[in-house]
């Protein structure tokens, strides 16, 4: 009888734990002077076939940022002064290869149109900006020190607009659940990925709370990430000579995980991968004549970000 009672109690405890709710909201435990060092890795491999011709490209981007927590504003909001510790880009394109390392920007390789990227990456890697975060959380403002992109050509300067930095913050904040969650609870968000040249992916993602894990003696919470659908678009401001007539893309493979650190009160680590496949139909004009340009795409994306707090 005693063992049966114990077994029942254990089952009840397990059942209760499964339904216990956890607050995974953004509530950072930060003080003025704290520094968050975030290391980001992004890899993309794209096989694009346009009009029967292969247009293969690959991208590698490695960077680290330092975010220093400032004194609260008069309204009680938190400023973060951000700068790059390093910024590295490697490209392989039909127009040639290109590489950039902020440690020696004068050694950047690449010719023709690719060479122009050096101005953008040099300015970006040297930029410093302050982001003020209000309750919500929400981005109150983003301001750069000086005008780091003033000398860039217009099409390059568009790639470093404050709105893009704001979008990154807002999409990260949106990943937090709106209310306390239990194991198995899910929520969806739609995120926009900027591809350059006015091109975007709108990706619907599902986030699921999968439970806790002990890491170095601390309890962290794990949230899985799955991309559900994707829509490709070319904006009206795009300098590309192509017009998108139709896209029919799908996410053929996707997995990911986020780590929420309870002590820090924020998401500290993100790792995701996805594969996007499908058809893209473009057109272009020659002497006023619209010419169709059918295509297919097979794109693999892998991303990783980890943040270390230094007090």
Domains contained in the chain, CATH given: 23-310 (2.30.230)
Query: Which tokens sit at 192?
Result: 């926009």
> pLDDT digits over 269-303, tens only?
999 999 999 999 988 888 878 889 999 999 999 99
* pLDDT over 50 at 1, yes or no: no
Label the pairing between strands 138-144 and 128-134. Answer: antiparallel
Label the pairing between strands 53-69 and 199-215. Answer: unpaired
> pLDDT digits over 88-117, tens only?
999 999 889 999 999 999 999 888 888 889
Label the pairing between strands 266-286 and 289-310. Answer: antiparallel
Least confident of 27-31, 45-49, 79-83, 236-240: 236-240
Rounded Cα distance, 33 and 257, in Å: 29
Q: If you average pLDDT over residues 159-178, what whole number do you get?
A: 92
Rounded Cα distance, 29 and 33, in Å: 12
Element (H, E) at 60: strand 53-69
pLDDT given at position 221: 97
Rounded Cα distance, 55 and 33, in Å: 47
Strand partners of residue 295: 50, 280
């Amino acid at each position: 009888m005693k063992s049966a009672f114990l077994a029942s109690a254990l089952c009840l405890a397990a059942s209760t734990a499964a339904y216990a709710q956890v607050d995974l909201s953004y509530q950072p435990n930060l003080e003025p002077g704290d520094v968050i060092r975030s290391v980001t890795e992004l890899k993309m491999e794209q096989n694009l076939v346009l009009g029967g011709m292969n247009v293969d490209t690959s991208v590698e981007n490695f960077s680290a940022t330092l975010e220093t927590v400032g004194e609260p504003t008069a309204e009680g909001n938190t400023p973060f002064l951000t700068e790059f510790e390093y910024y590295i880009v490697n490209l392989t394109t039909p127009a040639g290869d290109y590489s950039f390392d902020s440690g020696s920007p004068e050694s950047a390789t690449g010719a023709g149109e690719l060479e122009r990227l050096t101005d953008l990456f040099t300015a970006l890697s040297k930029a410093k900006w302050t982001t003020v975060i209000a309750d919500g959380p929400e981005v109150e403002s983003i301001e750069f020190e000086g005008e780091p992109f003033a000398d860039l050509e217009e099409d390059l300067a568009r790639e470093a607009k404050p709105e893009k930095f704001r979008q990154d913050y807002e999409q990260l904040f949106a990943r937090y659940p709106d209310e306390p969650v239990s194991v198995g609870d899910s929520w969806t968000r739609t995120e926009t990925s900027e591809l350059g040249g006015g091109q975007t992916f709108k990706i619907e993602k599902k986030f699921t709370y999968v439970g806790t894990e002990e890491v170095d003696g601390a309890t962290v919470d794990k949230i899985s990430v799955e991309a559900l659908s994707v829509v490709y678009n070319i904006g009206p401001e795009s300098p590309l000579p192509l017009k998108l007539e139709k896209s029919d893309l799908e996410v053929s493979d996707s997995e990911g995980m986020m780590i929420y650190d309870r002590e820090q009160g924020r998401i500290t680590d993100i790792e995701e991968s996805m594969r996007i496949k499908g058809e893209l139909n473009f057109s272009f004009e020659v002497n006023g004549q619209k010419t169709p340009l059918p295509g297919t795409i097979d794109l693999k994306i892998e991303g990783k970000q980890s943040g270390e707090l230094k007090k």
